[in-house]
Copies of this chain bind each other. A is one copy, B any other.
Amino acid sequence: MLSTVGEVKNYVIIFAKGDEAVSGMTEFAQKYNVKSGHYQAIGDALHIELGWFDYKRKEFLVIDVDSSEVTSFTGDLVWYKNKPVAHTHMTTSLRDGSVKGGHLLQLIVGPTLEVFVTVEPTPLYKKLDEEFNAGLIDPDLKK
């Protein structure tokens, strides 16, 4: 932990080579009983699965990316169906400086991923949106 100010807590999470980031963020939320939070990160990845949501099929198309620099990594921790969910969108750069991006499905770290997390005292919950078949944050939900 980096600091506690009032009811807000700031953490840094350092992932190492071979760690998987989505499950790692979820485990962090469970271990520290996170009610809601948001984060940003930089680092590197050995392999990433990115998603682009196909509105017609209501599912993600998957884009695979190999060794790359994680150029942006923004997300939030909220609760959905009684479990914390780490929702991350990111970009990552290849050998020639070109950039791929999308909704993060899976990321294998290497050599490092440095995540700065702000944990809030206010719980946030998602509700199923049937039009999109996706869980969306509803600030009015109380559980």
Interface centre among A53, A91, A121 (most CB of B within 10 A): A91
The quantity of this chain's copies bound in the complex is 3
Decide: A94 and B52 in contact? CB cutoff 8 A: yes
For the complex, is A41 an interface residue (Cβ under 8 Å from B)?
A: yes
Decide: A100 and B91 in contact? CB cutoff 8 A: no
Decide: B95 and A111 in contact? CB cutoff 8 A: no
- In chain A, positions 1-29 with a C-beta closer than 8 Å to chain B are 1-8, 10, 12, 14, 16-17
Decide: B96 and A63 in contact? CB cutoff 8 A: yes
Decide: B137 and A114 in contact? CB cutoff 8 A: yes
For the complex formed, measure the closest distance between the CB of A99 and the CB atoms of chain B, giving whole angstroms: 4
Cross-interface CB contact of A129 among B70, B111, B120, cutoff 8 Å: B111
For the complex, is A84 an interface residue (Cβ under 8 Å from B)?
A: no
Decide: A111 and B89 in contact? CB cutoff 8 A: no
Decide: A74 and B42 in contact? CB cutoff 8 A: yes
For the complex formed, measure the closest distance between the CB of A10 and the CB atoms of chain B, giving whole angstroms: 6
For the complex formed, measure the closest distance between the CB of A103 and the CB atoms of chain B, giving whole angstroms: 5
Decide: B2 and A120 in contact? CB cutoff 8 A: yes
Q: Kindly list chain B residues whose C-beta atoms are within 8 Å of the C-beta of A52.
A: 68-69, 93-97
Decide: A73 and B74 in contact? CB cutoff 8 A: yes
For the complex formed, measure the closest distance between the CB of A130 and the CB atoms of chain B, giving whole angstroms: 11
| Chain A positions 88 through 117: 1 when the CB is less than 8 Å from some CB of chain B, otherwise 0 | 111111111111111100000001101010
